[in-house]
Amino acid sequence: MPLATRYELPAAADFHVHLRDGAMAAAVVPTVRQGGVNVAYVMPNLVPPVTTVSQAQAYKSRLQHLDPSVTYLMTLYLHPTITPDVVREAKKAGIAGIKSYPQGLTTNSESGVTDYAAFYPVFAAMEEEGLVLNIHGECASDHKKNITIMNAEASFLPTLKEIHNRFPKLRIVLEHCTTADAVKAVEACGETVVGTITAHHLFLIVDDWAGDVFHYCKPVAKMPNDRLALLKAFVTSRGKFFLGTDSAPHDISAKKGPGNTAAGVFTQPYAVPYILTALEEAIARGDISEDQVTQELLEGFLGGWGRKFYGVEDSEEGAKKGERIVVEKKDEVVAESFKGEGGIEVVPFRKGQKTWSVSWA
């Protein structure tokens, strides 16, 4: 069966988004639904990071003010001030998970983790309360140990295994998997461990970002066989892997300014369309076959499996029950940039290139 040119699907859910705050949030929050998504799992790496329940609640209401028709699932930033008591308070307040960042490794990760064992009491409380641990799974570069951004994720995987073995009932998401090794590690864990896959990592390899700041993100895209492993994990997933775009908007000045470039690829406005384009390109390369891309696979990967893992139900708050989208191949062209107040300008992934179109049914 060749790929269809039109799919009607349940609204997508994006389990890893950076919506920022202030003027940048005002510019990017309206692009969530534009991408076919009505559930957004919101990352806490603001400046300062979201480390308390009241900060998360205030942040959520700012997002709701910008677009009340999205369901925002909130997270806390794993930090020394997070104790088992904070975990229990978070659970009562409806916080969905806690995100760990390795210190200094990516955008706004200055107060991230250096020693995971120090958080074992927190993980134990999360396991008990049913909060999800979202892991940015990379080790900091350490040249004596031959660790660089290319093997930072593979080097982290023993830590994932260790946390899972100690806390087998703790639900863990290895975020934005980029390597064949990560896919294998997630698959080797029990059913409490899953992985998210971004849209851009289904397209990119190292050659694409070396020299192009708009393709640079953490974790960096790796080798062709790693991209192949992600595509295979996608089409054979059955729930072990699902969508988390890691859409990470940065102003053009932070991407192309005088200093080091900021890590992050902006994919929010075309979250679902990019996925269809990535699958098409993968089929053209012979990485996957057309008949692997079924309606059931798209429904699961783009939202069904993530909703199930997180126990997301249609609620009074946010997205309407049973919303559906139509994704069509229509020669839509990705915008050159998205602008906001104060001169903000964010360049989307694959600007000026063709992608699919999404509309609300």
Judged by beta carbon, residue 14 or residue 246, the one nearer Zn ion is: 246
Beta strands in 118-171 (DSSP E): 132-135
Residue 33, SS3 per DSSP:
helix
- 64: Cα within 13 Å, side-chain hemisphere: 14
181 lies in the binding site for ligand NCD (CB under 6 A):
no
Q: Quote the longest CA-to-CA distance of the chain.
A: 55
CB of 263 to ligand NCD, least distance (A): 3
Residue 213 or 297: which CB sits closer to ligand NCD? Answer: 213
Which of 79, 164, 218, 227 lies at the binding interface for ligand NCD (CB under 6 A)? 218
Pairing of strands 241-243, 354-360: unpaired
Total residues contacting Zn ion by CB under 5 A comes to 1
Instruction: Give the nearest distance from C-beta 120 to ligand NCD in angstroms.
Output: 23
The mark string for 244-283 relative to ligand NCD (x by CB under 6 A, - otherwise) is --x-x--------------xx-------------------
Exactly one of 31, 34, 38, 45 binds ligand NCD (CB under 6 A); which one?
A: 45
- Closest approach of ligand NCD to the CB of residue 274, in Å: 15
Alpha-carbon radius of gyration of the chain: 19
The span of 30-38, 82-90, 241-249, 285-293 binding Zn ion (CB under 5 A) equals: 241-249
- Is 246 near Zn ion (CB under 5 A)? yes
Q: Which is nearer to ligand NCD, 74 or 283 (CB)?
A: 74
Long-range contacts of 48-54 (CB under 8 A, 24+ apart): 48/111, 49/77, 49/79, 49/108, 49/111, 50/74, 50/75, 50/76, 50/77, 51/76, 51/77, 51/79, 51/81, 51/82, 52/76, 52/81, 52/86, 53/86, 53/89, 53/90, 53/93, 53/95
Contact 112, 82 (CB under 8 A): no
Q: How far is the CB of 220 from ligand NCD (least distance, A)?
A: 9
Distance CA 262, CA 201 (A): 17
Q: Is 217 in the site for ligand NCD (CB under 6 A)?
A: yes
25: tokens are 């949030």
Give least dist CB 306 to ligand NCD, A.
17
Whole-number Å distance between alpha carbons of 250 and 113: 23
User: What is the DSSP secondary-structure string of 255-294?
Assistant: HHSSSPPPP-B--GGGHHHHHHHHHHHHHHHTSS-GGG--
201 makes contact with ligand NCD (CB under 6 A)? no
One symbol per residue from 91 to 130: x for binding ligand NCD (CB under 6 A), - otherwise; what is it?
---------------xxx----------------------
Give the residue with the Cβ less far from ligand NCD, 264 or 273.
Answer: 264
Phi, psi of 50 (to 5 degrees): -80, 100
Under rule CB under 6 A, residue 75 binds ligand NCD: no
Q: Looking only at residues 131 through 150 of this chain, which bind ligand NCD when binding is defined by CB under 6 A?
A: 136
Map tokens 């699958």 to a residue. 279
18 makes contact with ligand NCD (CB under 6 A): yes
Closest CB to ligand NCD among residues 48, 311: 48
Residues in the chain: 361
Applying CB under 6 A, which residues contact ligand NCD?
18, 45, 106-108, 136, 217-218, 246, 248, 263-264
Residues forming contacts to Zn ion in the complex (CB under 5 A) are: 246
